[in-house]
Amino acid sequence: MGRVLITDADGRNVVSAVRSLGKRGIRVVAAEDSYLALSFFSKYCKEKLVYPSPKKSPQNWIDWLMDELSHRTYDMIMPIGEYCTEFVSKYRDDISKYTRVPVVEYQRWSKARDKAETLKLAIELRIDHPETRFISDLAEVESAAQNIPYPAVIKPRRSCGSRGIVYVKDKNELIENYAKIHQLYPFPMIQEFIPSGGEAYGISLLFNRSSQLRAAFTHRRLREFPVKGGPSTLRESVHMPQLLDKSVKLLQHLNWYGVAMVEYKQDPRDGKCKLMEINPRFWGSLPMAVVAGVDFPYLLYRLVMDGDIEPVLDYPEGIRCRWLLAGDVLHFLTNPNRFRLQPSFFDFSRNNRNDDFISLEDIGPTFGFFMVVLANLFNLEKWKHVFSR
Q: Is 224 helix (H, G, I), strand (E, B) or coil?
A: strand
The counts of H helices and E strands in the chain are 14, 14
Q: What residues contact residue 50 under an 8 Å CB cut-off, 6+ apart?
A: 31, 32, 33, 34, 35
Whole-angstrom distance, CA of residue 369 vs CA of residue 32: 15
CA distance 235 to 284: 12
What per-residue confidence (pLDDT) applies to 120? 95
The widest CA-to-CA distance across the chain, in whole angstroms, is 62
- Provide DSSP, 177-212: HHHHHHHHSSS-EEEE---BTB-EEEEEEEE-TT--
* pTM of the model as a whole: 0.93
Q: What radius of gyration do the chain's Cα atoms show?
A: 21
Per-residue pLDDT of the chain (389 residues; tens, 9 = 90+): 689 999 999 999 999 999 999 999 999 999 999 999 999 999 999 999 999 999 999 999 999 999 999 999 999 999 999 999 999 999 999 999 999 999 999 999 999 999 999 999 999 999 999 999 999 999 899 898 888 999 999 999 987 656 778 899 999 999 999 999 999 999 999 999 999 889 999 999 999 999 999 999 999 999 999 888 789 999 999 999 999 999 999 999 999 999 999 999 999 999 999 999 999 999 999 999 999 999 999 999 999 999 999 999 999 999 999 999 999 999 999 999 999 999 999 998 878 889 999 999 999 999 999 998 888 777 666 655 555 55
Residue 99 dihedral angles phi and psi, to the nearest 5°: -155, 170
Determine whether 1 is exposed, middle or buried from the number of CB atoms within 10 Å of its CB (0-12, 13-18, 19+).
Answer: exposed
Q: pLDDT value at position 382?
A: 60
CA atoms within 13 A on the CB side of 216: 22
The domains of the chain, with CATH numbers, are 3-103 (3.40.50.720), 131-192 (3.30.1490.20), 200-358 (3.30.470.20)
Distance (Å, whole) CA 336 – CA 341: 10
Of 81, 284, 20, the residue nearest 28 (C-alpha): 20
| Cis bond upstream, residue 226 (ω within 30) | yes
Give me the sheet containing 3-6, strands edge to edge.
45-50, 27-32, 3-6, 76-78
CB-count burial class (<10 Å; 0-12, 13-18, 19+) for 94: middle
Task: Return the pLDDT at 255.
Answer: 97
Please give the Cα distance from 260 to 124 (Å, whole number).
20
49 Cβ contact list (under 8 Å, min separation 6): 5, 29, 30, 31, 32, 68
Residue type, 283: W
Pairing state between β 200-207 and 213-224: antiparallel
Task: Give yes or no for a cis peptide into 311 (omega within 30° of 0).
Answer: no
Burial of 175 (0-12, 13-18, 19+ CB in 10 A): middle
Residues 20 and 294 sit within 8 Å (Cβ to Cβ): no
Identify the pLDDT of residue 162.
64
- pLDDT, position 161: 59
Helix, strand, coil share (%) of the chain residues, nearest 5? 40, 20, 40
Q: What is the pLDDT of residue 239?
A: 98
372 Cβ contact list (under 8 Å, min separation 6): 10, 36, 37, 38
pLDDT at position 383: 56
Strand-pair partners of 31: 49
